[in-house]
């Protein structure tokens, strides 16, 4: 049985980019006779808000997207993440890290992606409040077939270095939480935007370190890019649409009298013109 998931972060209201993702998630999964889960990715406790979560779920229902199980929240899954981290500790793959983002960036400010240079890997720092936790990555080449882009090859240790799994504020990170969730929830198909394609190799490797022998299948779909017709779009194409682009918010479009079918048609038209 194919199992996929729609996983919004409640750090803002549902926007047209979320609609594109939902269309792909439900469309691809249902075409294969699969089930769709909804996961509220509220691992960032500083930015997540209960009112955003409620609005996201209401807008999703209004659009006609129904999950096959009640939604789950990452904020309720701390014990699951701690158990997964303990497994990595037992393999001596975990170490404490006191580096700030600014300190990491200063090592290689021109890098295309923030890469951790391993500063604390041999320091044997104690895990405590105010200190992050990292997992040692293998120096391996990860190969996977994306259902849209074809064969991909990534070297996570060169892209990002050892993965931060819990930050200095005690928040579980996206890369860790989503990998644990996909394994624990039995997700076999991950459908998400092209901006997350570069994360795939590290998530496959992390899942393997956690004992998952067979990774999910992946499909990375096109993104809606900003144009001058969107708020904040004066920068032109090349920037991913975000929650800050207010006139793409579903609640605003609903208030303006748009129907759900019009919203979804508009979303796919924007992808087609991107």
User: What per-residue confidence (pLDDT) applies to 232?
Assistant: 38
User: What per-residue confidence (pLDDT) applies to 201?
Assistant: 98
User: What per-residue confidence (pLDDT) applies to 146?
Assistant: 98
User: What per-residue confidence (pLDDT) applies to 271?
Assistant: 83
User: What per-residue confidence (pLDDT) applies to 234?
Assistant: 37
Q: What is the pTM of this model?
A: 0.90
- For the stretch 131-181, pLDDT in tens is 999 999 999 999 999 999 999 999 999 999 999 999 999 999 999 999 999
Intervals of the chain under pLDDT 70: 226-247, 273-274
* Distance from chain centroid for Cα 9: 9
């Amino acid at each position: 049985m194919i199992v996929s998931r729609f996983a919004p972060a409640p750090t803002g209201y549902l926007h047209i980019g979320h609609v594109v993702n939902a269309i792909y998630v439900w469309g691809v999964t249902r075409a294969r006779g699969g089930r769709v889960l909804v996961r509220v990715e509220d691992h960032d406790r500083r930015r997540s808000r209960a009112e955003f979560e409620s609005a996201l779920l209401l807008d999703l229902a209004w659009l006609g997207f129904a999950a096959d199980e009640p939604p789950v929240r990452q904020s309720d899954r701390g014990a699951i993440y701690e158990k997964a981290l303990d497994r990595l500790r037992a393999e001596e793959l975990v170490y404490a890290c006191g580096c700030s983002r600014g300190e990491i960036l200063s090592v290689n400010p021109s890098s295309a992606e923030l890469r951790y240079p391993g500063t604390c890997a041999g320091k044997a720092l104690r895990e405590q409040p105010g200190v992050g936790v990292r997992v040692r990555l293998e120096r391996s080449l990860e190969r996977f077939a994306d259902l849209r882009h074809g064969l991909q090859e990534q070297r996570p240790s060169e892209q990002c270095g050892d993965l931060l799994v819990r930050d200095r504020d005690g928040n579980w990170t996206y890369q860790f939480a989503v990998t644990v969730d996909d394994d624990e929830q039995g997700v076999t198909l991950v459908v998400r935007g092209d901006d997350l394609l570069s994360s795939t190799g590290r998530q496959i490797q992390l899942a393997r370190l956690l004992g998952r022998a067979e990774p999910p299948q992946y499909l990375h779909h096109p993104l809606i890019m900003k144009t001058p017709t969107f708020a904040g779009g004066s920068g032109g194409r090349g920037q991913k649409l975000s929650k800050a682009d207010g006139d793409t918010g579903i609640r605003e479009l609903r208030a303006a009298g748009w129907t759900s079918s019009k919203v979804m048609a508009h979303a796919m038209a924007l992808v087609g013109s991107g």
